[in-house]
Amino acid sequence: MKLLGLIGGVSPEATVIYYRLLTEAARARLGPLHSANLMFYALDYGVMIEHYDNRDWEAFNRQVVKGAKHLESAGVEALVICSNTTHVAADAVARETRLPLIHMLDVLAEEMKAKGAKRPLLLGTPVVMGEAHYRSELAKRYDGQVLVPTEEEQALIGRVILDELVLGNVYDSSRDELLAIIDRHKPDGVILGCTELCMILAQDHCDIPVFDTTGLHAAAAARFAFGEG
């Protein structure tokens, strides 16, 4: 298994999920005594959320690139950014290192094309849903119509993510609110465009395809690590 460099800590809850999924992938291929060959650079969530709140993307990206360079110097063979929002720094990481970057939106776009989703609803942090970067990068890879919640709905989704999930709190009442938003928009798929959303929503909760970016991204990282494409 190739050595993967994971940039995590945004949030720690999501980083734990990546570790679990990649270890499960290693065990499935190599046997139950094995684990994933990984190296982590954990960003300080408290620092990163302050940059996020201030929309200071220069400082935000600088921290992500710093992590990428540390991992490169440590000898990893590919980089994985364990966060949807933090992919705002993906281009900077690609410029500043010589390593392959397993990009979450490449994987997401491929899966939506494979499932034939033309009008998926994007759920994520307010930046992912409400600002241009994530959707414009996705549009380079996918030609469907991405639906976006209303401003009021975005505020609710942001509260669920930033006040609950990143702290490890999962509430049935919040799940019900998210499902009500999905139902109102009548999409043909749902993008879990925040790595923590898989903690509260899954395919079992919906009759339409659920695109779990965390699971899809980790699976792609595992395929790269084992030379499967």
Per-residue pLDDT tens listing for the chain (229 residues):
999 999 999 999 999 999 999 999 999 999 999 999 999 999 999 999 999 999 999 999 999 999 999 999 999 999 999 999 999 999 999 999 999 999 999 999 999 999 999 999 999 999 999 999 999 999 999 999 999 999 999 999 999 999 999 999 999 999 999 999 999 999 999 999 999 999 999 999 999 999 999 999 999 999 999 999 7
Top-level class of domain 4-103+216-225? alpha beta
Common-topology check for domains 4-103+216-225 and 105-212: yes
Count of Cβ atoms closer than 10 Å to residue 197 Cβ: 26
**CATH number at 105-212:** 3.40.50.1860
Can you give the residue ranges of every domain in the chain?
4-103+216-225, 105-212
Distance CA 148, CA 56 (A): 23
Instruction: Say if CB 156 and CB 225 are below 8 A apart.
Output: no
Instruction: Say if CB 14 and CB 196 are below 8 A apart.
Output: yes
Determine the pLDDT at residue 229. Answer: 75
Residue pointed to by tokens 């939506």: 112
Instruction: Say if CB 6 and CB 39 are below 8 A apart.
Output: yes
Determine the pLDDT at residue 93. Answer: 98
Instruction: Say if CB 6 and CB 72 are below 8 A apart.
Output: no
